[in-house]
Amino acid sequence: MLKVNKRRALSPVKANTVPKQASKISQVQEDQSIKVVVRVRPLLERELEGSPKCLVEVDKEQLITLTPDQSSAQARKYRDAQNFKFSKCLWSYDRRASTPFADQDTVFTEVGLDMLDNTINGFNSCVMAYGQTGSGKTFTMMGSKNERGLIPLVCESLFTKLKQQIDTKFEVKVSFIEIYQENVVDLLGTGEKLRVRENSNRVPFVENLSEYTVGSSQEIMELLAKGFDKRTTAETHLNKQSSRSHSILTVTVVQEQFDPDTNSFVKLKSNLKLVDLAGSEKFVASDGLEKIRQQEGSKINKSLVTLGRILTLLAESPKQRTVIPYRESILTWLLKDSIGGNSKTTMIACISPTDFDETLSTLRFATITSKIENKVKVNKELQFDMDQMVGQFELEKKKLLQCITDLKESSTEKDEVKKLENYVNWQNNYIDTLAFTNKVTLKKLDANLKASQERNRLLMSSLISAVKPAEPEDYEFDEFEEIIKQAQYLDIETPLENLKNDLHSDLVKKYTLELVENAI
Ligand SMILES: Nc1ncnc2c1ncn2[C@@H]1O[C@H](COP(=O)(O)OP(=O)(O)OP(=O)(O)O)[C@@H](O)[C@H]1O
């Protein structure tokens, strides 16, 4: 894996060789509600000792009922059961016949698959796990050694999907931060605290954040393991290893595609944010928490209270988003695009089956979140089209020839040689680009060819079975031969093969070879 401090343009389109015509494609925005998925975790060992009651029921994977424990003080305040409805309620409490059990793969199917499609299609997406301490947020996001969570499963499938796209060049970069006591800590750097700033489009970013280019999900996991060693955790009364900070893993995917239909290169850039929030429970002084835990608790509370306030504002006034105080906490500032902005976002609300107050608070929070509509659009940029590129190439070729003439006559040889060197480099980059275009187009045609061969095979076998009589002696030989002949006329391999050869010779001969020869 490669550490990148600054953004790099993808080879072969080098930053200084992209023609000036590169422009943004106008994009259609669509409204998309934040999706909320609730997950009920199983009882923990320490809870089993006190024979606790399960206060939660899930019906039809959408309806959730929270009933107060009649023997407790809540029963006086809430006589009736509280009902909620969400797009999906995942039951991980126990395996029973009436309610489907949701394991880690189910979470991946319900949440991860959509995220992957969004990323491949150029949308920003975000999944954030919310809930009280010990409700299963980290388990859902990261999982355990034997039960891998959403992050490893999504990363693995992301690379599988990207590699399947034969016509796409891609680059994947990751960064990993925690927000601890209102400070941003770079978990892949030296652990230094970093500043948050906004770019010209008013999108917040972390200044000087370490970013790594990765070639596999294994590399992401190695980076995450390093980052987790630095993450602030501590034992609390609710969780043996409680995350005392919010963590955000950002996976940035840049894809470059050549579109033969429009003769152009298109660049898609999408961010995938995987957020594990710190526990949302209330901290009260009488908890007897040591000072540092109390201080952490109040800072965690501050950011989550701000998050709650912003979500409420967005849910109540979807059309008046101008005065949303995102900058009141680092967490909400950094999640600005994910809540109310340009991102397809899912919240996984993790709940404990035994804690009425905290579960009620989480479900109310989740209800507000589900009312928020983000404005999403594909992050697509038109790089340049082939005709423009060839035109520019011709122009540069003329300059190159002029430069060579100048060189012959010039006395300040050094400058001219430098100029010549620059032009030759420029030309080389364009030859690279043409070769890449060529490769992509040929790959596409190869894929078409294989698909048509397969179609032919299927066609032949269905024709054969259609005319094959039950008994061999019933063969109508003439009729059979005729059908086979007709099927052979349907063959489309030859025209495709010809097209492939034409295209190859066209591109290579017309542009590449000629240009190489002229440049020498
Ligand atoms: N669905 C589940 N299946 C099995 N075990 C689970 C599940 N959810 C949570 N657990 C277990 O519950 C415990 C607490 O879970 P976890 O650490 O994920 O909570 P958390 O919400 O991230 O807490 P914190 O906010 O304190 O970090 C862990 O031991 C975890 O393995």
| pLDDT score of 118 | 94
Please say if the pLDDT value at position 475 is more than 80: no
Work out the angle between the directed axes of helices 150-164 and 217-230 (0-180°, nearest 10). 150
Q: Which atom of ligand 1 is nearest to the CA of 279?
A: 25
Domain end residue (candidates: 378, 401, 436): 378
Enumerate long-range contacts of 432-437, CB under 8 Å, 24 or more apart.
432/11, 432/12, 433/12, 433/13, 433/17, 433/389, 434/507, 434/511, 434/512, 435/12, 435/512, 436/12, 436/169, 436/258, 437/258, 437/265, 437/386, 437/507
Residue 13 domain-assigned? no
pLDDT in tens, 282-317: 654 445 555 555 565 666 677 888 999 999 888 887
What does the alpha-carbon distance between residue 166 and residue 330 come to, in Å, rounded to a whole number? 40
Task: Report the pLDDT averaged over residues 210-221.
Answer: 95
Tally the domains of the chain: 2
For a pocket test of ligand 1, which of 43, 139, 228 has the largest count of ligand atoms closer than 8 A to its C-beta? 139
Looking at the predicted structure, is the pLDDT value of residue 101 above 90? yes
Please count the other Cβ atoms lying within 10 Å of the Cβ belonging to residue 7.
10
Q: How far is the CA of 148 from the centre of ligand 1 (A)?
A: 13
Omega of the bond prior to 52 within 30 degrees of 0, cis?
no
Mean pLDDT, range 100-108, rounded to an integer = 96
Does residue 389 share a domain with residue 370? no
pLDDT at 21: 36
Atom of ligand 1 nearest to the CA of 236: 26
Does residue 97 register a pLDDT over 90?
no
Residue 9 lies in a domain: no
pLDDT digits (tens, 9 = 90+) for 156-199: 999 999 998 877 889 999 999 999 888 999 999 987 889 999 98
Query: Do both 170 and 283 map to the same domain?
Result: yes
Domain extent at residue 285: 34-378
440 vs 27: which has the higher pLDDT: 440
Is residue 129 included in any domain, yes or no?
yes
**By mean pLDDT, which of 282-286, 389-393, 422-426 is the weakest?**
282-286
Whether residues 389 and 299 fall in one domain: no
The pLDDT value recorded for residue 502 is 53
Pocket test of ligand 1: the residue of 38, 103, 138, 150 to mutate, having most ligand atoms within 8 Å of its CB, is 138
Containing H/E element for 66?
A: strand 63-66
The binding site for ATP consists of 131-138
| CA 82 distance to own-chain centroid | 35
- In sequence order, the 6+-apart residues with CB closer than 8 A to the CB of 102 are 39, 90, 91, 92, 110
Provide the residue type at 320 as one letter.
Q
Q: What is the pLDDT of residues 313-332, one digit of tens each?
A: 888 876 655 578 899 999 99
C-alpha–C-alpha distance, residues 144 and 142, integer Å: 7
Comparing 167 with 44, the larger pLDDT belongs to 44
Per-residue exposure over 268-293, b if at least 16 CB sit within 10 Å of its own CB, e if not: bbbbbbbbbbbbbbebeeeeebeeeb
Q: Do 53 and 156 fall into the same domain?
A: yes
Q: Where is pLDDT greater, at 422 or 240? A: 422
CATH number at residue 219: 3.40.850.10
Q: Which two tokens stand for residue 14?
A: 């080098």
Q: Which two tokens stand for residue 117?
A: 């499609």
Using the 3D structure, point to which of 327, 343, 378 is the last residue of a domain.
378
The rounded distance, in Å, linking the Cα atoms of 12 and 1 is: 19
The pLDDT value given to residue 366: 95
User: What CA–CA distance (Å, rounded) separates 432 from 512?
Assistant: 9
Token pair in block for residue 58:
């899930």
69 and 128 co-located in one domain: yes
Query: Could you tell me the pLDDT band of residue 476, with boundaries at 50, 70 and 90?
Result: low
Within this chain, do residues 304 and 414 fall inside the same structural domain, yes or no? no
Tell me if 22 is assigned to some domain. Answer: no
Distance from the alpha carbon of residue 136 to the mean position of ligand 1, in angstroms: 3
Q: Are residues 139 and 284 in the same domain?
A: yes
Is there a domain that residue 188 lies in? yes
Residues 484 and 508 occupy one common structural domain: yes
CB 251, CB 275: distance < 8 Å = no
Assess whether 429 and 290 both reside in one domain.
no
Last residue of a domain, one of 339, 358, 378: 378
Minimum CA distance residue for ligand 1 atom 15: 136
Q: Distance from the CA of 240 to the center of ligand 1, in angstroms?
A: 10
**Pocket lined around ligand 1, Cβ cut-off 6 Å:** 41-42, 44, 92, 131, 133-139, 239, 242-243, 278-279, 350
**Polymer length in residues for the chain:** 520
Atom of ligand 1 minimally distant from the CA of 144? 31
Contact yes or no for 265/258 (Cβ under 8 A) = yes
What is the predicted pLDDT for the residue at 56?
A: 94
Which atom of ligand 1 approaches the CA of 242 most closely?
26
Question: How far apart are the C-alpha atoms of 334 and 16, rounded to whole Å?
Answer: 31
Measured in Å, residue 135 CA sits from the centre of ligand 1 at 5
Nearest-angstrom CA–CA distance, 156 and 87: 26
Residue with CA nearest ligand 1 atom 9: 136
Binding residues: 131-138
Measured N-to-C along each axis, helices 477-489 and 413-467 cross at an angle, to the nearest 10 degrees, of: 160
In a domain, 20, yes or no: no
- 275 has pLDDT over 80: yes
Instruction: Give the pLDDT of residue 231.
Output: 73
One domain for residues 202 and 250: yes
Which residue's CA is the nearest one to ligand 1's atom 14? Answer: 134
Q: What is the pLDDT of residues 46-85, one digit of tens each?
A: 888 777 889 999 998 999 999 988 766 666 677 788 999 9
Q: Which atom of ligand 1 is nearest to the CA of 102?
A: 1
What's the mean per-residue pLDDT of the chain?
A: 77
The pLDDT of residue 8 is 31
Q: Is 349 part of a structural domain of the chain?
A: yes
Which carries the bigger pLDDT value, residue 501 or residue 192? 192
The predicted complex's ipTM stands at 0.98
Q: Are residues 275 and 396 in the same domain?
A: no
Q: Is residue 445 part of a domain?
A: yes
Rg (CA), the chain: 30
The answer on 226 and 178 residing in a single domain is yes
Q: Is the pLDDT of residue 486 over 60?
A: no
Strands (E), 313-409: 344-351, 373-376, 380-385
